Structure 1
Amino acid sequence: MLLTRRPIGACLGLLMLLVLPLAAWAHKASDSFIYVDQSQSQVRIDLALRDLALVLPLDSNGDHQLSGAEVRHGRSAITELVGQGLTLSNARGRCQLIGQQWGVSRHSDGLYAAGRYQVACPDDQPPASLEYNLLFQQDPLHRSLVSITDSHGERLDVLAPGDRTLALGDSDSAFSNTLQLFGTFLYEGVIHLLIGLDHILFLLVLILPATLPLTPRQSPNQAGPGSDLHKRLLELVGIVSAFTIAHSITLALAALNVVTLPIAWVETVIALSIAVAALNVYWPVLGRKTWKLAFGFGLIHGFGFASVLGDLTSGVSQLAIALAGFNLGVELGQLALLVVLFPLLYRCGRYRVYERAAVPAILLMVGALSLYWVAERAADI
């Protein structure tokens, strides 16, 4: 009996770990945007107002809304923060940032404070490196998305908590630029999938039906290892393929600016899709063809994946390379997740308590959490 309880406990523990992380994890990772023009020795940085409000006392009246007057009043504090967290330098030492223009810009997820600076280096040469140290302590998922214009054209890079310094010198060749761009977005695609708790929970809900028994249940000791595994794998392949095709379509359309949707609406519908998918497992209001559900809601999730990519690659000649790398990264992250989860959940499916108690409890918690996200995100619409 002890041998039977241990696998059951492991299954329950695994599922609890999947659905009990803090709700704060499921949000769009905060971004800043840096545009470096080496030919003009200029740099522009855009910082989200919602992020600045976390580190600076900009909301003077405490209404959780930043007015134009409050942003203008906080200009000196924002400029000082940029001076502390953004460093450009070359072989002669640190460069000076001389303010040129200041205002507010808009990206897909809201308003940003934007500042343009002339970069004055000790030897009157362009800067050779950039170091960025803003907002990582407030949000470990924060990324600074960098566009560099030099004699070879425009290239992209990403700064993260573990990689805060970037070389600004000309790359050796166009091929190395392309390879670096593809690798950067491949990595960011993997990370974007793995840190997106809402996307992970949606995948979990989609694959749960494929882990439930398709044949009359036998005892764990009697069930053959391949009794219904083939059918379940086919079902899983159909679900994952439908989701992949759907989000790849809308990811490309959004990144190419063919179709754009307000990010607040997209994030709200993504949260709602999790609740609907969870409900549909036991009350199939949308039918039992899970792959159709995966395709339909996958179209919406693609816009969510593109929320960062569209801003980062706006106007970039190598957009196709960036898009291919990011999309492949999302697929690799998804595949890694399934390779770990499905075999474990498949084994859990051998036990009656998994179907009758664990799965309903998980669906209830996932549904409640997603509805909480719906209410939270709808407030930003």
Structure 2
Amino acid sequence: MILHRIARLVLLAAAALAFWTPLLAHEATLGVLEFREMRPGAFIGRWTMEPTVGASRVDLRVPPHCLLRLPELNCGDKGLVGQITIGNLGADMSAALIKVIPLRGEPRSYTISTANPVVTLLGTDAPTLDTWLELARTYINFGIDHILLGADHLLFVLGLIWIVQGGWRLIKTITAFTVGHSASLAATAFGLIGVSERPLNACIALSIVFVGVEIVKQQRGEIGLTARYPWAVAFSFGLVHGIGFASALAGLGLERRILPAALLFFNVGVEIGQLLFVLLVLALIWAHRRLGAGLPRWSAELPAYAIGSVSMFWFLGRLVRVLAAA
């Protein structure tokens, strides 16, 4: 079938690229920098989550009236207000959370990302409209980046498209996956459930192995569990993948007042990224129909074994890390 042919092409390309993807696909390149006020206008800064690039190489730029010589930051009578940015953001670090803990009042959090490289620190606890717009822009883009760079999530979705083949069944299946990972993402972000990240990543890889086996069954003429109940399988594994999405936010230590909004915007970004990927695959299917291209018969089973081999490679690699940490 046409869908199978285009899916083979996409799966082969994804499998080839996946071997170059790090085993821990959900460990975000984030940094968390905390500024604690010791006396009026004087702060001590420290990285509570050190970025991949290395704290000494981060090009942090503070408001002009502030003097930064980490771990010390002196802002005088004006206090820590104004614009702050990281000049080399995007090279090895995708985002950074700036946490300000004043002598009086509630802590404040600001997220710098490649999509939102400059944030404005406020001297008040009350968020403004600009604060919410900044938060939306940052976390929507962060969610899009997270899903589009998550090769294992995309490979799982691609496997679902392969098995379900299209139509309303595909819409229901993708919707079930969305509902599942949205629910577990929210539950994890609010601390209702908690799973260690390394075992979770191994389980995510194992879910892709399951889909790979289901594809092989389908090619042999067998009706697998995913073919019978695609939305149930998508929802169940969506719960697992959603906890993986939440790991991108877990280490940030977001303050409770902005957590619901950050979670909402992040999830919107994830859904946008997922939709873009599905539309891309469907566009390739349409293009294949227009061109009428085909593949050699001997290549029919390669993608199914490729997706299973790549995901098993991920699973074994992540399992080794779990056992090493035990």
Instruction: Give the TM-score normalised by the residue count of structure 2.
Output: 0.79
Q: 1:349 to 1:333 in 2, by over 3 A?
A: same
CA contact (8 A) 1:86 1:130 kept: no
Q: 1:296 to 1:355 in 2, by over 3 A?
A: farther
Match of 1:75 in 2: none
Which whole-Å CA distance do the structure 2 matches of 1:191 and 1:45 have between them? 23
SS in 2 for 1:340: helix
Match of 2:220 in 1: none
2:166 equivalent to 1:208: no
Q: 1:268 to 1:10 in 2, by over 3 A?
A: closer
Match of 1:250 in 2: 184
Once the two structures are superposed, what CA deviation does each residue of 1:138-174 show, in whole Å capped at 9, x if it has no partner? x4x64323334567852331334x7655443448952
SS in 2 for 1:374: helix
Which whole-Å CA distance do the structure 1 matches of 2:294 and 2:64 have between them? 66
Match of 2:30 in 1: 31
- Percent of paired sites with the same residue: 24
CA apart distance, 1:336? 1.0
Q: Which runs of 5+ in 1 are unaligned?
A: 1-6, 56-80, 98-116, 212-231
Match of 1:73 in 2: none
Letter paired with 1:236: L
Which whole-Å CA distance do the structure 2 matches of 1:357 and 1:91 have between them? 65
Matches within 5 A, 1:1-381: 13-26=9-22, 27-28=25-26, 29-37=28-36, 41-48=43-50, 51=52, 82-92=55-65, 94-97=67-70, 117-121=71-75, 123=76, 125-127=78-80, 128-132=82-86, 137=91, 139=92, 142-148=94-100, 154-160=108-114, 164-170=117-123, 174-211=128-165, 232-283=166-217, 284-288=223-227, 289-345=229-285, 348=288, 358=299, 360-381=301-322
Letter paired with 1:286: L
Larger radius of gyration: 1
Letter paired with 1:91: P
Which whole-Å CA distance do the structure 1 matches of 2:172 and 2:56 have between them? 52
Number of residue pairs aligned between Structure 1 and Structure 2: 303
CA apart distance, 1:13? 4.9
Greater RCO, 1 or 2 (C-alpha within 8 Å, sep 6+):
2
Backbone CA RMSD of aligned residues: 3.4
Q: 1:352 to 1:285 in 2, by over 3 A?
A: farther
Once the two structures are superposed, what CA deviation does each residue of 1:233-265 show, in whole Å capped at 9, x if it has no partner? 101111101100100110000000100000001
Letter paired with 1:311: G
Which whole-Å CA distance do the structure 2 matches of 1:269 and 1:360 have between them? 25
SS in 2 for 1:36: strand
CA apart distance, 1:12? 5.9
CA contact (8 A) 1:280 1:286 kept: yes
SS in 2 for 1:312: coil
Instruction: Give the TM-score normalised by the residue count of structure 1.
Output: 0.68
Letter paired with 2:121: L
Letter paired with 1:360: E
SS in 1 for 2:17: coil
